[in-house]
Amino acid sequence: MKTIDLSNASVRDLNQALHDQAKHVDDREWVVTHPDGAHNLAVGVNQEVSIDIQGHAGYYCAGMNQKASVTVHGNVGVGCAENMMSGYVRVKGSASQAAGATAHGGLLVIEGDAGARCGISMKGIDIVVGGSIGHMSCFMGQAGRLVVCGDAGDALGDSLYETRIYVKGKVESLGSDCIAKEMRAEHLEELQQLLDRAGFNEKAADFKRYGSARQLYNFKVDNASAY
Amino acid sequence: MCGIVGLYLKNPKLESQLGKLFEPMLEAMTDRGPDSAGFAIYGDEVAEGWVKLTLQATTEGYDFKALVAAVEARLGCALDWFQNASAIVLKVQADEAAVRAVLAELAPSVRIMSAGQSIEILKGMGLPKEISERFGLASMKGSHIIGHTRMATESAVTMEGSHPFSTGADLCLVHNGSLSNHSRLRQNLRREGITFETENDTEVAAGYLTWRLQQGDTLKQALDKSLEDLDGFFTFAIGTRNGFAVIRDPIACKPAILAETDDYVAMASEYQALSSLPGIENAKVWEPVPATMYIWERESA
C-alpha cells in the first residue's frame, strides 16, 4: 500500500504517480491523506488500482477515470467523476454540482446528497445517489442510469435522450420531454442490481421510473411558424 | 471568478483570534481572486451617540492628521481615530449625516468605506496576502468577518472596485458572480437618489440593497426582492451588525460551502478555505440550496 500525504506532496506528484501506473503497476492500493479540499485529485487514472482519499476533495475528483476504484471519505466539490469512462467512484459524503457529468461508463455512488445538474449530459455511466439531487439533473442525459433514493429537484431530465431515471422520493418538477413511465420487470431487475451493487438497502419496487417522451427527437412541422 | 469567505464566532472566547483564524481562509482563495482583496470586520463597537467610519485615501501619504483636526474643529465634538496603512478608523460623537457632510466638503477625494457602530471595511489592490499584511489582519479581534478575493470581470481593478461594498450602517456586501442588468439598474437607482462611484456591478447590487432597506424592507425582504430584480449569477455574503447572511441565485452558478461547529459558522467559495479551521474534521459541512437565505445573528449586539 502506497500513501501520499498531500500536506507534503503536491497534487501533481499524486497524479503523476497514479498515471505512471498505466505503464507499470507498482502498487494496487493507494491512500491519499490530508486532501483538504484540493482540486483535481486522482484525475485521469487509467489502471486497475484502488485509491482511498481520506477527507474532503475539491473539484473534478476522479475525473476521466478509467478502470480505477476511487473512494472519497468525505464530500466532493463540482464535477466529481466527470467524463468517467469505466471503474468505480464512491463518495461517502455529499457531492456538489455536476457529479458524473458527461461520463460514458463506470459506476458513481454518492452516499449523501448531490447538488444541481447531477449526471448532466451523461452518456452511459450509472449513478446511484443515497440522498437527494438538485435541479436540472440529468439534463440531456443520453445513456446510462440515474438512481435517486431521496428526492429530485426542479426540471429533472430536461431534454432527455435515453437515460433511464429511477427516483424513490418526490420529484419537484419534470423538465421538457421527461415523463413518468411504467416500471416493467426488466426495469425492476436492473434497478435492484444497481441498488445492490451500490450497497443500499432499498427495494426496487419503491421507486418510480422516468424517461424521455421522445417528442423532441424530430422537428415538428406544426412549429415551423415559430421560426 | 472571485472568492468569498466569512467567519462568524458562536463562542466569544475565540473573538481575540478572529483575525488569526480568518487570515488563512482569505489567503486560501488567492487562486480565485488575485487582483484585489478586502474584508469587513465587526467588533470594537462605539457607544450610543457615536459613529465609526472607515476612510481610505486615493493618494499615497494623504495627511489624515490635518483632515481629522479640521473635522474636529468644524464639528466641535469628541472624536477618536487611528490610522491603519492607507486607511483610518474615525470615531465621532455625532450623527453620521453630519460627519459625511463635513467630509464631503473638506475631503471630497477621501472615500468612506463604511459607517456604523461596529463595522470596519479594509480593502485594496494586490494579492490577498499583501492586503492581510498591509492591514495587520492576523492580530485583529472581533465577533465576525467577511472577506473577498477578486478576479475582475465586469469592471476595472481599483481599490474602489474591490469588495466588500457598504450598503448602509453596519451592512456590507461581497459578491461572486456577475450581473447583466447592472447598467439599467444603476440608472433606475440614481433616480431614487442612490449614488455610485464606479462602473462596478457589485456596487449596483449594494446600492439596490441600500435602497430596499431605506424603503423599510427587512434584510430578508430585500434579499428576496433582489432575486427577482437582479439578473445574473451570484453568491452574496452580507455582513450585518450582529451576524451574516448567505444567498445564491436560483440557478446556483457560483459555488458556496458552509460549515458549522459549536464554536463557529464559516462560509467559503470552496472547502479549501475552511480546511485550516479548528475542529473542521468534525464540523457539519454542506452546500447551501439555491435561492434560499441562510442567516446567523446574535440576539443582541
**Which residue from B minimizes the CA distance to A78?**
B255
**Closest listed residue to residue B107, CA positions, set B123, B90, B131:** B90
Q: Measure the CA–CA gap between A91 and A74, rounded to whole angstroms.
A: 7
Q: Is B253 a catalytic residue?
A: no
User: Over the Cα atoms of chain A, what is R_g?
Assistant: 18
pLDDT in tens, A39-84: 999 999 999 999 999 999 999 999 999 999 999 999 999 999 999 9
What are the structural domains of chain B?
A: 3-45+126-297 (3.60.20.10), 48-116 (3.30.70.260)
Percent of chain B that is helix, strand, coil (3-state, to 5) = 30, 30, 35
Tell me, yes or no, if A175 comes closer than 8 A to chain B by beta carbon: no
pLDDT in tens, B135-166: 999 999 999 999 999 998 878 898 888 999 98
- How is residue A81 written as a grid cell? 467523476
- Per-residue b or e along A104-129, where b marks 16 or more CB atoms closer than 10 Å to that residue's CB: bbbbbbbbbbbbbbbbbbbbbbbbbb
For residue range A154-205, what is the model confidence (pLDDT) as tens digits?
999 999 999 999 999 999 999 999 999 999 999 999 999 999 999 999 999 9
Nearest CB to A37: which of B251, B271, B281?
B271
Which candidate, A73, A142, A125, A61, places its Cα nearest to that of A97? A61
* 3-class SS of residue A120: coil
Buried b (16+ CB within 10 A) or exposed e, B73-95: eebeeebebeeeebbbbbbbbbe
Question: Which residues in A lie closer than 8 A to residue B275 (C-beta atoms)?
Answer: 36-37, 56
Q: Does A120 touch chain B (CB under 8 A)?
A: no
Check residue B155 and give its pLDDT: 83
Is 2.160.20.60 the CATH classification of the domain at A2-215?
yes
CA pair distance B192, B91, nearest whole angstrom = 29
List the beta bridge partners of residue B41. Answer: B120, B145
Amino acid identity at B103: L
What percent of chain A clears pLDDT 90, i.e. is strictly above it?
A: 95
Question: Per this entry, what is the length of chain B?
Answer: 301
Q: Cβ-count burial of B137 within 10 angstroms (0-12 exposed, 13-18 middle, 19+ buried)?
A: buried
The CA–CA distances, whole Å, from B298 to A84, A167, B49, B187, B265 equal: 46, 40, 22, 36, 12
| B285 interfaces chain A, CB cutoff of 8 Å | yes
| Domain-wise residue ranges, chain A | 2-215
Neighbours of B105 (CB within 10 A): 11
Residue B252 touches chain A, beta carbons under 8 Å: yes
**B271 interfacial to chain A (CB closer than 8 Å):** yes
- Residues from chain B that touch A55, judged by Cβ atoms under 8 A, are 281
The tens digit of pLDDT for each residue in B40-72 reads 999 999 999 999 999 999 888 899 999 999 999
State pLDDT tens for residues A26-39: 999 999 999 999 99
Taking only the tens of pLDDT, chain B with its 301 residues reads: 899 999 999 999 999 999 999 999 999 999 999 999 999 999 999 999 999 999 999 888 899 999 999 999 999 999 999 999 999 999 999 999 999 999 999 999 999 999 999 999 999 999 999 999 999 999 999 999 999 999 988 788 988 889 999 888 899 999 998 899 999 999 999 999 998 888 889 999 999 999 998 899 988 899 989 989 999 888 999 999 988 999 998 888 899 999 999 999 999 999 999 999 999 999 999 999 998 999 998 865 4
Task: Write the ipTM.
Answer: 0.87
Q: Residue B272: which of A37, A78, A97 has the nearest Cβ?
A: A37
pLDDT of residue B50: 96
- Residue A21 and residue B25: Cα distance in Å, rounded? 35
Predicted confidence at residue B301, as pLDDT, reads 43
Pairing state of beta strands A123-129 and A107-110? Answer: parallel
Cell numbers for B238, please give them: 452580507
Among B254, B258, B272, pick the best mutation site for testing chain A contact (most A Cβ within 10 A). B272
Continuous H helices in B94-239 = 96-106, 128-135, 182-191, 201-214, 219-229
On chain A, the residues whose CB falls within 8 A of the CB of B255 are 77-78, 96-97
8 Å CB contact of A77 and B252: no
Per-residue pLDDT, B299:
67
Among the listed residues B2, B77, B172, B253, the single catalytic one is B2
pTM of the predicted protein model: 0.91
Angle at which helices B18-28 and B128-135 cross, to 10°: 160
Rounded to whole angstroms, the Cα distance separating B215 from B225 reads 12
How many Å lie between the alpha carbon of A157 and the closest alpha carbon of chain B? Answer: 16
Cell 478555505 found at: B273
CB contact under 8 A, A56 and B271: yes
Give the residue from chain B lying closest to A134, CA to CA: B289
Check residue B156 and give its pLDDT: 86
Grid cell, residue B272, equals: 479549501
Q: Does B290 touch chain A (CB under 8 A)?
A: yes
pLDDT reading at A23 higher than 70: yes
Q: Which positions in chain B touch A77 (Cβ < 8 Å)? A: 255, 270-271
The single-letter DSSP state of residue B133 is H
| CB contact (8 A) between residue B271 and residue A93 | no
